[in-house]
Structure 1
Amino acid sequence: MPVGFISSPACAGHDMGAEHPERPARLDAIRDQLLSSGIDVALRHFDAAAASRAQLELVHDPDYVESIFVRAPTEGIEQLDPDTCMNPASLDAALHAAGAVVSAVDRVMAGEIPSAFCAVRPPGHHAERDRAMGFCLFNNIAIGAAWAREQYGLERVAIVDFDVHHGNGTEDFVKGREGYLLCSSFQHPYYPFSGTGELPDNVINTPLEAGAGGAGLRRAVEDTWLPALENFRPQMLFVSAGFDGHREDDMAQLRFVEDDYRWVTETIKKVADRHAGGRIVSALEGGYALSALGRSVVAHLQGLIGR
C-alpha cells in the first residue's frame, strides 16, 4: 500500500522574506527530488484540510490561538519574535500545516494508508502552549499526537524528533503527561538552549556535540531511544522530521547524511511494525540546504516505504 504524502498549496504562501531560511522553495526542492528519484510513484498524494480551533486547542492555550488569529496581518509583516513572523498568508499556511498532520492521523487510522509524511510549513516543534518561536506558530506534530489520543482513544503515542534543534515546544507539551513518550536528539549547546537537566521519565533527550555525525545519532537511538520505545509499546508513532543536521546545511554543525535519515526511519518503522500496526505520521520540521533537504526527504520516505 502506498505511503501517504500530505501537503497543501497554502503552505507555500507563508513567506518571512527573501533572506529568511524557512522559505517556500523548501517545498519545491522536496517535490523536485520526489520526481527525479522516481519515488513519487510509490506515494499517494493528499491535500490537507485546515485544522480547527478545537484541534489547535488540544495543545495550545485558547488565548494564544486567538492572539494568532487577531495578529494575522491583512498586509505587510507581523513580527512575533526575532525570527518568527506572519504575512497575510501565514495563518492559512499554519492552519493547513497542523491540519495535514490531523488528516494524516485520520487516514492512517482509517487504513487508507499505512503511514504518512506531511510536507508542510511553517514547522512546529518550537511552538509552546502559549508562545510562537523558532519559525513555528502551531505545534503540528503535538497536535496530531493529541488528536490520535482524543479522537481514537489511543493510550500510548510516541514522538521522535531528530531535528538539529531541540523541540522545546513538544517537550513542553509532553513532559509528565500520561500516554506520551518523546525521544529526541539535537545539537547542544545550541538554539533554543534547552533539553538538558532533570527530565521526567517520558522525555528521552540525547544531546549531541557540534561535529557529531551519523555514528552519534545511531548510538543515541540504539542505546536510549529503542529501550524506551520497546518498554512503552506505542500504538502510533509520530516523527518531527528535521533535516537541518545534514552536513551540507549550515544552520548548525552536525554531520548527518541521507543514509543516516534512512537508517533512523527504518529503525523507527520496525518499532511501529512490532507495536503499532506500522502506523507512523511524520511532519517536516527543519532543513534549509535545498538539495540536501530534498535528498534527505527521499531517504526518509524510502525508510517509510521499506525499500
Structure 2
Amino acid sequence: MATAVYSHPDCLLHEMGPGHPECPERLVAIEDQLIASRIAQLIERESAPLAEISSLARVHTRAHIDFIERSAPLQGHAWIDPDTAMNPHTWQAALRAAGAAVAATDAVIDGRYDNAFCSVRPPGHHAEPARAMGFCFFNNVAIAARHALEVRGLARVAVIDFDVHHGNGTEAAFAGDERVLMCSFFQHPFYPFSGAENQAANMVNLPMAARTPGAAVREAIDLLWLPRLETFKPEMIFISAGFDAHREDDLGNLGLVEDDYAWITDQVRRIAARYAHGRIVSCLEGGYNLSALGRSVVAHVRALAGI
C-alpha cells in the first residue's frame, strides 16, 4: 500500500511565541520519530503546495479569508484570540497546510497513493467558516473534503476526528450536509465546550469523561462509529488526526496510547478498503507532548501503510 507524507518547511516558520504548545518542534519530533522508526524510507514524500483562495472559499467566508491575510504582522505577533496568534510567516504556513490536504486528496483520488498523512501546521479543525480559534486559521480537513465533493465529484465522504478537543469548526462546516458523515470522540466537558448537545443527524459525536482509557474509547468506536460508517459507505475518508488524547499529553486528560491510535487507524482503513478504494487523507491536528506525538504519528502512519 503506497502512503505519502506531505509537509513543507514553511510550516516550521509559523510560531506563536515562547512556550506556546503549538510549536514548530512538533513537526521536528514527528520527523525524528519517522526516521528512528525506520519507516521513513518506506513512505513517499511530497512537498505541500500553496492552497488556492478558491479552495479556502469552499469552506470559509471571503471576509474571514481577507481578515486572516491582512492580520499577518510585518514583525512580532498579532493575536487573533487569546490562544491563537499570527507571525509574519503564518499566512504562508496556513496556505501550505490547506494546500497539502487538497493536493493529497487529488493524489489519492487519482490513484498515485492509497492514502496520505499531512504533517503540517497550523492545524485546522477548530477553524469555523467565519472564525479562527484554538490555534487554527483555516480548516484543512473541511477544505479537502469539500474539494473531494465539489471539485472531484465524490458523492459521500466521512470525516474522522480523534483529537482530545471537539472539532467544532468541522462540525460547523458540515452539520446537516447529507454528503458528509462526521465521527468524533473528545473529552467533555472541555474546550471548546461543544459537540455534546443538539447533534445534527450526520454527526456521531462521542463525548468522553476525563481519564477515560483507550479500551473504553475502542468499545465506543466499535459500537457507535463503525455501524454508521458501514451504513454510510463513504467514497473517501478524511482524518483530523489529533494525538493530544494520549495519556502523556498535558493539554488533555484522556488515556490513549500508541496502540489505540494504531487500532483506530486500522478500523478506518478497513472501512476505506471496503467502500472507498482505500482512499484516506489524514491531517495533523493536536498533540503537544513531543515524544508521545512522534510515537503516535509513527503508529498512525504504520497503520495507514499496513506495515
Partner of 1:9: 9
| CA apart distance, 1:38 | 0.5
2:62 aligns with: 62
Q: CA RMSD in A?
A: 0.7
Regions of 4+ moved over 2 Å: none
2:151 is paired with a residue whose SS is helix
Correspondence 1:243 to 2:243:
yes
2:159 and 2:102 map into 1 onto residues whose CA distance is 15
| Distance in 2 separating the partners of 1:218 and 1:30 | 24
Q: Distance in 2 between matches of 1:178 and 1:78?
A: 38
- Taking structure 1 as the reference length, the TM-score comes to 0.99
Write the mapping of 1:108-119 to structure 2, written as runs, cut at 5 A: 108-119=108-119
Give, in angstroms, the shift of residue 47 of structure 1.
0.2
C-alpha distance in structure 1 between counterparts of 2:9 and 2:274, whole Å: 35
Q: Which residue of 2 aligns with 1:160?
A: 160
Q: What is aligned with 1:259? A: 259
Residue 75 of structure 1 deviates from its aligned partner by: 1.2
Deviation of the 1:76 alpha carbon: 1.4
> 2:142 matched to 1:142?
yes
8 Å contact 1:7–1:100 — kept in the other structure? yes
- Alpha-carbon distance between aligned partners in 2 of 1:197 and 1:114, rounded to the nearest angstrom: 35
Where in structure 2 are there 5+ consecutive unaligned residues? Answer: none
For 1:178 and 1:225, how far apart are their aligned partners in 2? 16
TM-score (norm 2): 0.99
| CA distance, structure 2, for counterparts of residue 115 and residue 60 of structure 1 | 25
Deviation readout 1:93-131 (Å, 9 max, x if unpaired) = 000000000010011011111000000000000000100
Equivalent residue number for residue 180 of structure 2: 180
Q: Is the 8 A contact 1:208 1:216 kept in 2?
A: no
**Larger mean Cα displacement after TM superposition, 190-199 or 232-241:** 190-199
List runs of 5+ in structure 1 lacking aligned partners.
none
What is the percentage of aligned positions where both structures have the same residue? 54
Deviation at 1:178, TM superposition (A): 2.5
1:128-158 Cα offsets, whole Å, 9 max, x none, are 0100000000000000000011111000000
- SS for the counterpart of 1:268 is helix
Report how far residue 215 of structure 1 moved: 1.0
Amino acid at match of 2:176: G
Deviation for aligned residue 1:2: 2.6
Which residue is 1:106 aligned to?
106
What are the equivalent positions in structure 2 for 1:1-307 lying under 5 Å apart?
1-307=1-307
What is the CA–CA distance in structure 2 between the aligned matches of 1:103 and 1:283, rounded to whole Å? Answer: 12
Aligned length: 307
